[in-house]
Structures are given as structure tokens and as C-alpha cells.
């Protein structure tokens, strides 16, 4: 009744009809706070919002409560037998089936743990803290300081964001995950003609923090496909998702406050765990990434359990903005893009120097680590992609070409071509492991709205390699790849994390093959000696993988390297090698691996990581000779020639500016070494050496300088 009175009063003021009451759960003390999110101006500007609020949300909440009541009654009717809950340290806690929850177990351990545990894992499956346990189990609890805790925290924050967006603008929500980079979350929604920008952020954040203040619990129900379609019948985007779900898929729906959302979960216990919330940016997106589908708007957000961490993150973003690779690339004349070739970048001479250095760095390691370089075609008949499975699962991301009434596709990856290379002749076990490396140009048809500098492009190159080996060789090959990655990332100054992603719910191949592969990966990781974590059920359908995320100088995480086992492609292409005489023909295991990942993306990451100050070995501007006067120019040119002949990038400033100005300009241009020469240096055959960002200088002979350059290059400094 209180809701109806508030709505009636608001409607009288606006000379509109009085809507029916909105249902809210009994734990909310001030249900009217939801209605307050629809400002009078919003109702005046968007008359459909009122109808949306009263009919759609009311219907969803009613259906949710009805199904929830039935399910609770069912669980209460089940026998609540005693169960044993085993914790990671081996200790055992007692509980009751269909009654005790991970939160109850946490409370039994300590109040602090219960206040900080965000999510649990029950027998390897992520589980809501308040969801009843269904039997004896192993239990792990995760706080915000774990990947599982952070991802869940940000996924739940996306629901809080979605609630604010829906209540504020009456939009149709689409999807709202945590970001793949592991920094925050976003929500895509359809707004019609409304365009969101930073001016809207204050009201969105206000709505989100109201949800936080209300301590809305995240509640879960399981529904049939028919029930899900009824709940979301007003939202064509959710209906499409539901209709595309497999017949045997368990469908879950979550609720927090007025938001009822289709979601597999799990979520944090309630909204009050989110103490700090901010909108970061708004951008356009296409439904399901398809440029021919509906145009959506994406709002990105970030949240934390305390204000201090949010302030630190915002400060990090401000710092990162100063060193955006697109701005630095323009300033240093490294690369540019053009509207006539979106997503494909032009590398200028200085940018090409860096690009080539990265490629040369990897190629040198190939030589030392037993890889064989190959070159494969850029374009294949679609029959190849049908065999590999990409035609069915990846075709919309490919550039297609009709040639003589046949369909061809530009390659988005090298692996199918490498399968053809393996298969072009009879192979023997003596040839394995066969490590094929390919810097071929790849093309992926990314949506124009998703293109982002060098980090999301359409044309790129990878340090792509595929290792064909016997099952008995998997462990050693994986360890070798890990050592390769460690070597490269140490040179770049990255720290990194390792995760073993194991067999997913839906997988291809034999169970024993998966178990053997996971065992080999585990042994390889243990022998490698670095700390690693397990990521249950997150492997690819065709094989387990090791995920490697790097952290740069600004503590941002990136996924660059790849290490995946693949049983599927060798089977699809019927690859075989002759084993020892008594064993006949056997199927190889295929290992996909990359260290840099996309060369373009790695170049962008390094540019920001070094803040534009390239180390000498990678720098496109290693040295510049600055003559003090016109009299010194002939010697300056001679010095330049000697350094250039030794294989280093060196310029000479022959302008008539004063030497102080030349030195300052060279420092701003990020030359690593500034070599000042005057009449004295010309007489003695020396140079006055200034190092970037240092005020002092020293005098060196040319041979000594070149030796110094050589040492820095060999040490990757």
C-alpha cells in the first residue's frame, strides 16, 4: 500500500494515471526508494518508463517470488541429514543437507571470515555463500584478494549497475559480465534514441549506491526454459539468449532488489559488500558483436570493498591516460591508422624498428629452442575451415572472398594451415616433437565499435607456433614453453600469474586423455617452480590450457601468452605419425602457443609499460649526435656513420640551434644516448655522452661507446 500511495502522489503531480503497487520483499524497509530513482524529469521525458516500471518489473518480481516459494518449500520438505564439510586444511565441519550454507560454515570459523568471504567453491564448482549445501563436500572460501572473489564481486557489481540503468532509464538489459581483463565490469543495454555519456554517470552511480545501502541479497532460482521465457518475455535480447541455450542446460535467474536477471551466477551475498562504485566510460556496442544487429550502449564500471582502493585505481587510470599508446605513438611518430583501412595500422619507420626488434627477439629464441619457421598462405578455401570447425563457430569473424564461384576466407589463425603442413607427408615418431613457428599475417573481422588502438585490430601478426608431439612428450614441451615465456617476460620487466584451466562441463575426447593431459600440465607447472592456481572447468572444449596474465608497471593485467593442448584438430584432420613398429599409427597431440601474442598488442603494452621510454635494445632512437657548432658537423656525421655501421639507430642534429636546445629536444624525443661533439672531441676522436633523464655526462672513445652499446643490447637493457 505504501508503494501505491507514493506512486499515486507522484502521478497526480505529473497528471498521469495511478499505477498498480510494486511488490518488494519484506526485508526492505523503504521500498519507495526504488521509485525515487525515476526522476520527475525522466518520467516527463520518457512516459514509457512509468509503464515499464509498473508492469514489467512487477511481473518479473511476482514470477520470481512464486517460483522461489515453491523451490524453498521443496527443499524444506527434503531430509536435512548431517553432512561433513572438508576445508582446505583438512579440518571437517558439520552441517545439514539442504539447510547449511557456506556462509553458515564461515560464521562457524570466524566472524571476520563471514564478513569478507564473497564466494565459495563446493566440490570444484563456484557456489553462492547463502546457497544450501546438497551433501558431503570439499569447501573453499574466497575473499576479494583472490581471482574468484574479485571476478564474482565485479560480476555482482554489474548487476547493481544494471539495476541502476534499468530503474533510471527503462532500458532493455542485454549482458553484464566482469571484463576479460579482470578490471571491473560493464553492462550492455538498448536505450532507443537515448545516448549515454559522462553527464549521466552521477545519477547512475547514485542509483547504484542506493542499491548498496539497501543491502539487497542476491537470490537464486532455477527455472525451466518456459518459465525463463515468461519472466523475460518483454526483453527480446534475453529471449534470444534463452532460445539459444541447449535443451539440457540448467537455467538460473538471480534477483537483487527490483532487478531480476538471467544469469548463471554465482554472486556475492548481498549488495552491501560493495563499498565503492564508479562509472568509467560509456561506448557503443552491437548486440552479439554483429554490426548488422541492434546498436547498444555499454557502460563500464569499477567497484571495490573500500574507498581507498577505488581512489588508488582512479589514480592509476589517470596515470595510464598520460601514457596511452595511441597518443605516445603519435608523439613519437611510430604508427597511425586511417579511415580507409579501419583496424589495420600503418607502422612508420620508427615504429617498424620496434616491431622488427620484437620479431627478431622471438626468432633468435626459436633458433635456440628448436623451432622451425614456416610460411603459410593467407587465404584458404572454406573447405579447410569446415574441416577445422571454424566455419561453424567463427565464420562471422572472418573476411570472406568469392573466387571463381568458390568461397575463400582470410586466415584468422594459423593452426589449420599447420595441420596441413604436418599432413603433407608421412611422419615418423622420430620427427617429434615438431615445432612449427609462423609470423603470418592474420585477419579477424572485429566490429568497428570494438576496435581499440593496437590492442583490438583487424590485421595483425602473432608469434604463433604449434608443437606436434607424442603424449609422452607433453610435459617436457609444456615446461619448455613456460621457460620460454618466463625468459621473455623477465626481459620485458613483467610479472605474471599462471592458472591451469581444467576440463569444462562440455568437452570433446576421452576422459582418460583429459586426465592424462591435466596430470602432465600439473607436473610441468610443479617442475617449473612458479606459483600457480587451478581454474576448475575453464579449459577449452578441445583441451586443457595454461592461462598466463602479465602485469605491467602500472599493475594492469593483460592476457598475452597462450599455451593450450588440443586433441580436437589432430582428430579433425586425421593427423597421424608412425610409432614404433609394434604400435602402428598414432595421433599426435597439438600444443598451441604464443609468447608475445599479437605483436601489435605487445608493442602497445610495452609502450605504455615503459611510459614511452624504450630500453636501449628495443629503442627506435638509440642515439643522436649533436654538434656544438657548424664546425663540428663533419665530425658529427663521421661519428654517425661509425655507429650506424655497427648496427645501431643513430641520428644527427645539423640544425643551427644552440647546443642546450638540441640536448633538450633530444631528451624530449626519448633518445637513449645524446652524443655532444665539439672541436675538442673532434681532435681527440671522442664524444661527450649524456644518458636520457640524467644530468651528468662522461667522455668516451668511439670503440668504448660501441662496446657499451653492444653490452646493453646483449643484456636486453
Residue 190 has pLDDT above 90, yes or no: yes
Name residue 221's beta-bridge partners. Answer: 253
Residues 644-691 have pLDDT tens digits of 999 999 999 999 999 999 999 999 999 999 999 999 999 999 999 999
> Which of 415, 469, 560, 626 is the catalytic position?
415
Tell me which H or E stretch contains 282.
strand 276-286
pLDDT band, very low/low/confident/very high, at 559 (cuts 50, 70, 90): confident
Give alpha helix (H) positions in 273-428. Answer: 307-322, 325-331, 349-369, 382-388, 390-393, 415-423
**What is the 8-class DSSP label of residue 456?**
B
Residues 343-388 have pLDDT tens digits of 999 999 999 999 999 999 999 999 999 999 999 999 999 999 999 9
Residues 573-597 have pLDDT tens digits of 999 999 887 778 999 999 999 999 9
464 given a catalytic annotation: yes
Residues 142-170 have pLDDT tens digits of 999 988 999 999 999 999 999 999 999 98
**CATH of segment(s) 359-376+411-608:** 3.30.930.10
415 given a catalytic annotation: yes
* Burial label, 526 (beta-carbon count in 10 A; 0-12, 13-18, 19+): exposed
Q: So what's the pLDDT on residue 338?
A: 94
Q: What is the mean predicted confidence (pLDDT) over 504-531? A: 86
Residues 255-281 have pLDDT tens digits of 999 999 999 999 999 999 999 999 999
Q: Domain 2-72+148-319 class?
A: alpha beta
Q: So what's the pLDDT on residue 50?
A: 66
592 given a catalytic annotation: yes
* Topology classification of domain 79-143: Ubiquitin-like (UB roll) (3.10.20)
Would you list the domain boundaries of the chain? 2-72+148-319, 79-143, 359-376+411-608, 616-714
74 given a catalytic annotation: no
pLDDT band, very low/low/confident/very high, at 182 (cuts 50, 70, 90): low
> Which of 462, 640, 670, 686 is the catalytic position?
462
pLDDT band, very low/low/confident/very high, at 180 (cuts 50, 70, 90): low
Rounded (5°) CA angle 112-114-117: 100
> Which of 267, 411, 458, 545 is the catalytic position?
545
Residues 607-653 have pLDDT tens digits of 999 999 999 999 999 999 999 999 999 999 999 999 999 999 999 99
Q: So what's the pLDDT on residue 543?
A: 84
Residue percentage of the chain with pLDDT more than 90: 71
pLDDT band, very low/low/confident/very high, at 181 (cuts 50, 70, 90): low
Distance separating alpha carbons of residues 300 and 161, to the nearest angstrom? 9
Residues 29-88 have pLDDT tens digits of 333 334 444 433 333 344 445 666 678 899 999 999 999 999 999 999 999 999 999 999
State which CATH number among 3.40.50.800, 3.50.40.10, 2.60.120.650, 3.90.1200.10 fits the domain covering 616-714.
3.40.50.800
89 given a catalytic annotation: no
> Which of 255, 267, 466, 479 is the catalytic position?
466
Q: So what's the pLDDT on residue 553?
A: 75
> Which of 592, 601, 662, 692 is the catalytic position?
592
Q: So what's the pLDDT on residue 43?
A: 33
545 given a catalytic annotation: yes
pLDDT band, very low/low/confident/very high, at 183 (cuts 50, 70, 90): confident
Residue 485 has pLDDT above 50, yes or no: yes
Distance separating alpha carbons of residues 577 and 428, to the nearest angstrom? 5
DSSP for 146-212, please give it: SHHHHHHHHHHHHHHHHHHHHHHH--EE---PBPTTSS-EEEEEE-TT----GGGHHHHHHHHHHHH
Q: What is the mean predicted confidence (pLDDT) over 7-32? A: 33
Residue 25 has pLDDT above 60, yes or no: no
> Which of 444, 593, 690, 692 is the catalytic position?
444
Average pLDDT taken over every residue of the chain: 88
> Which of 464, 520, 547, 653 is the catalytic position?
464
Amino acid at each position: 500500500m505504501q508503494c501505491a500511495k507514493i506512486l499515486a502522489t507522484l502521478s497526480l503531480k505529473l497528471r498521469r494515471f495511478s499505477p498498480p503497487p510494486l511488490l518488494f520483499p519484506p526485508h526492505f524497509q523503504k521500498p519507495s526508494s526504488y521509485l525515487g530513482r525515476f526522476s520527475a524529469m525522466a518520467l516527463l521525458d520518457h512516459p514509457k518508463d512509468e509503464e515499464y516500471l509498473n508492469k514489467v518489473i512487477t511481473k518479473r518480481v511476482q514470477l520470481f517470488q512464486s517460483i522461489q516459494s515453491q523451490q524453498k518449500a521443496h527443499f524444506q520438505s527434503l531430509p536435512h541429514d548431517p553432512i561433513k564439510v572438508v576445508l582446505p586444511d583438512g579440518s571437517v565441519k558439520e552441517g545439514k543437507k539442504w539447510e547449511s550454507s557456506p556462509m553458515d560454515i564461515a560464521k562457524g570459523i570466524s566472524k571476520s571470515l563471514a564478513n569478507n568471504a564473497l564466494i565459495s567453491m563446493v566440490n570444484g564448482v563456484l557456489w553462492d555463500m547463502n546457497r544450501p549445501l546438497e551433501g558431503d563436500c570439499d569447501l573453499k572460501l574466497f575473499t576479494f584478494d583472490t581471482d574468484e572473489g574479485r571476478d564474482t564481486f565485479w560480476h555482482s557489481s554489474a548487476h547493481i549497475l544494471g539495476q541502476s540503468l534499468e530503474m533510471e532509464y527503462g532500458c532493455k538489459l542485454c549482458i553484464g559480465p566482469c571484463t576479460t581483463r579482470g578490471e571491473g565490469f560493464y553492462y550492455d543495454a538498448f536505450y532507443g534514441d537515448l545516448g549515454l555519456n559522462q553527464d549521466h554517470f552521477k545519477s547512475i552511480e547514485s542509483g547504484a549506491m542506493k542499491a548498496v545501502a539497501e543491502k539487497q541479497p542476491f537470490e537464486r532460482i532455477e527455472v525451466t526454459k518456459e518459465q525463463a521465457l515468461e519472466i523475460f518475455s518483454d526483453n527480446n535480447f534475453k529471449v534470444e539468449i534463452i532460445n539459444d541455450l541447449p535443451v539440457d542446460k540448467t537455467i538460473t535467474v538471480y534477483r537483487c532488489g527490483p532487478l531480476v536477471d538471467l544469469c548463471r551466477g554465482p554472486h556475492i551475498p548481498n549488495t552491501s559488500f560493495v563499498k565503492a562504485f564508479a562509472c568509467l566510460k560509456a561506448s557503443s556496442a552491437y548486440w552479439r558483436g554483429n554490426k548488422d544487429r541492434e546498436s547498444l550502449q555499454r557502460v563500464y564500471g569499477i567497484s571495490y570493498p573500500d574507498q581507498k582502493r577505488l581512489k588508488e585505481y582512479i589514480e592509476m587510470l589517470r596515470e595510464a591516460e598520460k601514457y596511452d599508446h595511441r597518443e605516445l605513438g603519435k608523439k613519437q611518430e611510430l604508427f597511425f591508422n586511417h579511415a580507409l583501412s579501419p583496424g589495420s595500422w600503418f607502422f612508420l619507420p620508427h615504429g617498424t624498428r620496434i616491431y622488427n626488434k620484437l620479431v627478431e627477439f622471438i626468432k633468435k629464441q626459436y633458433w635456440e629452442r628448436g623451432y622451425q619457421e614456416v610460411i603459410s598462405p593467407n587465404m584458404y578455401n572454406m573447405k579447410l575451415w569446415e574441416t577445422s570447425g571454424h566455419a561453424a563457430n567463427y565464420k562471422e569473424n572472418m573476411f570472406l572472398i568469392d573466387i571463381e564461384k568458390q568461397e575463400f576466407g582470410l586466415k584468422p589463425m594459423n593452426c589449420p594451415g599447420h595441420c596441413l603442413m604436418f599432413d603433407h607427408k608421412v611422419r615418423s615418431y622420430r620427427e617429434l616433437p615438431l615445432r612449427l613457428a609462423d609470423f603470418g599475417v592474420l585477419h579477424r573481422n572485429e566490429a568497428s565499435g570494438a576496435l581499440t588502438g593496437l590492442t583490438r585490430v583487424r590485421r595483425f601478426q602473432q608469434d604463433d607456433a604449434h608443437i606436434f608431439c607424442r603424449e609422452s612428450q607433453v610435459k617436457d614441451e609444456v615446461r619448455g614453453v613456460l621457460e620460454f615465456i618466463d625468459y621473455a617476460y623477465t626481459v620485458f620487466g613483467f610479472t605474471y600469474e599462471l592458472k591451469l584451466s581444467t576440463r569444462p562441463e562440455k568437452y570433446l575426447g576421452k576422459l582418460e586423455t583429459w586426465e592424462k593431459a591435466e596430470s602432465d600440465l600439473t607436473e610441468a607447472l610443479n617442475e617449473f617452480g612458479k606459483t600457480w592456481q587451478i581454474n576448475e572447468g575453464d579449459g577449452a572444449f578441445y583441451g586443457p590450457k595454461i592461462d598466463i596474465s602479465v602485469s605491467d608497471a602500472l599493475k594492469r593485467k593483460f592476457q598475452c601468452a597462450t599455451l593450450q593442448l588440443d586433441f580436437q584438430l589432430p582428430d579433425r584432420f586425421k593427423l597421424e605419425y608412425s610409432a614404433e613398429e609394434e604400435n602402428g599409427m598414432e595421433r599426435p597431440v597439438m600444443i598451441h602457443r604464443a609468447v608475445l601474442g599479437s605483436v601489435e598488442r605487445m608493442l602497445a603494452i610495452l609502450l605504455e609499460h615503459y611510459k614511452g621510454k624504450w630500453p636501449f635494445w628495443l629503442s627506435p632512437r638509440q642515439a643522436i649526435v649533436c654538434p656544438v657548432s657548424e664546425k663540428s658537423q663533419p665530425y658529427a656525421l663521421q661519428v654517425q656513420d661509425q655507429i650506424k655501421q655497427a648496427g645501431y639507430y643513430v641520428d644527427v642534429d645539423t640544425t643551427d640551434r644552440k647546443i642546450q636546445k638540441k640536448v633538450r629536444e633530444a631528451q624530449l624525443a626519448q633518445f637513449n644516448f645524446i652524443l655532444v661533439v665539439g672541436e675538442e672531441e673532434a681532435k681527440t676522436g671522442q664524444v661527450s655522452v649524456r644518458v636520457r633523464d640524467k644530468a651528468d655526462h662522461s667522455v668516451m672513445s668511439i670503440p668504448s661507446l660501441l662496446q657499451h652499446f653492444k653490452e646493453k643490447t646483449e643484456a636486453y637493457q
